[in-house]
Every structure is written in C-alpha cells, then in structure tokens.
Amino acid sequence: MKLTHTLFAFFFSAFFYSQAFAGFLDQDFSKITLKTTHVRGNIYMLEGVGGFAGGNIGVSAGTDGVLLVDDQLSPMPEKINAALASINKGKLRFILNTHWHGDHTGSNAHFSKQATIISHTNVRKRLMAEQNNFFGKSPAGPKEAWPLITFEDAVNIHFNDEDIQFIHYAHGHTDGDAVVYFPNSNVAHLGDHFFNGIFPFVDLDTGGNAFSLTRNVGAIIKTLPDDALVIPGHGGLSDMKGLNAYYAMLKATTEYVKQQAASGETLEDIQLGGLPSEWTAWGGGFVNEANWIKVIYFSLPK
C-alpha cells in the first residue's frame, strides 16, 4: 500500500527536524568560521566551517559596494560583516534571496537596515506567513525580513559593472527559487537547486518537486557557458563538470524510481532494492538514499 502524502509529510518532517535541523540555532556559533573563496572577478563565496552556518553566500564586491546572494542563519550577521570587511570596505546595498528557507534568509531582518532585499514573489509570501514543512512549523518572519522588491520571472540588477541576472525557476527546490548569474565574472549561484555531490532536499510542502528540479537544472545548464564557475546552495565551489554530474544523477535516479513505480513497485519495495550502485555514494549528506527515493516517489504525478 502506498503511503499518503500526509503520512509522508509527517514522517519526512519528523526525520529532518530531528536529524538535520534540531539544534542548529542552539549550536555554539562561536566555533563557526566563514571561509572566504575568491571565485572569479568581483565574486566571492562565503562558506561555513566548524558547524552549520546555513547555505553558501555569494558576494559581489566592487566600486558600487557589496551585494549578497543569501545571508545564512540568524546568528551569523557579525561573522558575515567581518568576512565582508576583509573583502571590501564598501556599503552593503543589496541582498538577493534564492528562496525562503531560514538557512538562506535568516539574517534578512538584521541586514535590511542596510540593504534592499530582492526575491521572487513567493519568497516574500512565505516569509510573511507561518509555514509547515520539514522544519515543523516555521513562524512568519518579522516585517524587517520581508523582501522589498519582488519579481515573477526575472529581474536585472546593474551593479559592480555586472548586468546581474536573477531568474526564477518554478517548483524546483521550492516554489520561489531563483538563480543568479554574473555574466562579466562568469559565475552562477544556484541556491538550493544545486547540492554539490549529495542528494538534494526538495521541499514538497512548499512547492518543490524532484522532476521539476531535474528539468530546471537541465534548463539552467543550457544557459551557462562551459567555463562558468558555480556556487551551490550547499557543498563546495563547483564548475560545469560538477553541475553536469549532479544533473546526470538527478536524471538517472528520478527516471529509475519512476520506472519502478510504473511497474507496480511500492515505495517500500523501491527503498528495499535501493538505487543503482553508481548513485549510492550521493547519500552522504543529510538526505540519505532512502529519503531521496521517497522525495522522488512523492514527486510523481498523482
């Protein structure tokens, strides 16, 4: 018998809340540092070390000042400010939120005193209201955390000699994801459309879908030059080779689960059999093989 989506949401929520997110805000943030990597041109990447700081931050630093892509968990602003000061003494002017999750928007309220926050329309809507997903209940964010400028399909930000492209890709990781491309530096920040080297988390409860994510990543790849560098939402700095390897995994595993389900296999049957062996190593993140199968299974059309 197939589990209902409601039962899936319950068990999935319980697993992730207890195993992946519980205690993140209670951890000792004094032990966390931010690793700064110069990616290319005006673009840098900030990555948490020594604990979970949140998703990777992209930084555009130049004569116009500073622009951030995402801003990690709420206890991180002082560490982010220190990292930015070592890169550029200019004013923080813009923050681009790739989606609504708190490990990417947690410092919005703090930085909104300095910077204008821009996002897809659905990010603002979700930050304005209580959400129920794998975190359990996430309360509405304070007004200061809400993006001031929103868009539906795409927006350009002309900053630091870059015609920055901020483009929405629907129903991938959530219903409000957008990716960022810096054409002069030839760097893309994919937010949580890209988990480098590990199975991704797809938030089915807030509009995500594993098959749409796969299609989106394929579409994104077609827009990027072969020598682009790619900042993932989680994991180390990558390039097009790494992104293509991730896409190959998404295509193969989603198709495999789809075929197994079409042949009459239950979720439990598919999990018991597992994925083809070439993909099992991708289960080393907080989404293991069984839960990635579950995400794919409940992404199938009803």
What band does 164 get if pLDDT is binned at 50, 70 and 90? very high
- The fourth-level CATH superfamily of domain 5-297 is Ribonuclease Z/Hydroxyacylglutathione hydrolase-like (3.60.15.10)
Query: What mean pLDDT is predicted for residues 6-22?
Result: 37
Domain boundaries, given as residue ranges, for the chain = 5-297
Q: What is the pLDDT of residues 73-129, one digit of tens each?
A: 988 899 999 999 999 889 999 999 999 999 999 999 999 999 999 999 999 999 999
pLDDT of res. 24? 65
Report residue 280 as tokens.
Answer: 């099992």
**pLDDT at residue 26 is higher than 80:** no
Give the pLDDT mean for 196-224: 98
126-160 residue pLDDT tens: 999 988 887 678 889 999 999 999 999 999 999 99
Average pLDDT value for residue range 267-272? 98
